[in-house]
Structure 1
Amino acid sequence: MKKPITIDDFSQHLFWDVDLADFDFQKHKSHLIQKVLEYGLMNDWNLLKEVYGLETIKEVSLNLRSLDAVTLSFLATIFQIDKKEFRCYKHKQLFPTYWNS
């Protein structure tokens, strides 16, 4: 019998700013998904897929306000979606950086 996945199974460096005693997988879903996508290890990605499934990860990631360029490319490839459909891509186009372009 497989033991249920807990927050302690994920890499601890992801949650330096979170009180793990109060962490809820449903309530903090977008926070967990974003942290794992941007800073997680491959093991964290596999755990994330087990907890939420690819469809939920896709829905949440499409609506995140910010993702780094590498993560955005990874998700666009995994889900076979154009980068322009992600909210973070649209948001970045609305507010270009002129000093460090």
Structure 2
Amino acid sequence: MKGLRQARVVLVHWKRFTGIELDVFSSLKNFCDSYPDYSYHTISNYLSKKKQPFENDQIKIERKPILTKLERPELPKGLFWDMRYSAINWQKAYQIVIERVLSRGDENDWDVMIKFYGKEKITDSLKNEIGDLPELIIDKVCKYFQLNKNQLKCYIKTQSHQKHWI
């Protein structure tokens, strides 16, 4: 799932209220602020230690994961030394980001990039858009993404430029 991260919400199943069967809160703190009869620390400790829902005769409270869109990948700022990191538009600048991470990042950075953009977008960029990668990186990219050099725009581009014979 590209560009997603996991967050949690608090689901409250009401047993005694008619008409309201389920409430969703962004945090347990928000629930306890809305319903002060319930102790944040007691419920939090219960949910954290037992890893199961808190339940009594009135309610059942559980934490559930949800997926939210990542705003940016967690890549090292040093890869983008020539750019204002906080101002990078990660969606529009994807070609630059992919090229920079492939050229200068390690495999962990590659994994973060793949999680953010998705393998399909990266391979499509390699085939059709990214025009410059060092030869050593081309070999590494081909092995990692199971591609043939002739599929890469950067390889085709270097083959079409004649080099001096000296």
TM-score bin, normalised by smaller chain: 0.7 to 0.9
Query: Which residues of 2 match residues 54-93 of structure 1 at below 5 A?
Result: 54-62=119-127, 63-93=129-159
Q: CA RMSD in A?
A: 2.0
The aligned counterpart of 1:27 is 92
Following TM superposition, the consecutive aligned residue runs of length 4 or more in structure 1 with deviations greater than 6 angstroms are: none
Where does structure 2 lack aligned partners over 5 or more consecutive residues? 1-5, 8-67
What percent identity do the matched residue pairs reach?
25
More helix by share: 1
Q: Distance in 2 between matches of 1:78 and 1:14?
A: 20
Measured after TM superposition, the shift of residue 5 of structure 1 is 6.0
Measured after TM superposition, the shift of residue 29 of structure 1 is 0.5
Q: Distance in 2 between matches of 1:60 and 1:36?
A: 13
| Number of aligned residue pairs | 99
For 1:27, give the aligned amino acid: K
The aligned counterpart of 1:41 is 106
Where does structure 1 lack aligned partners over 5 or more consecutive residues? none
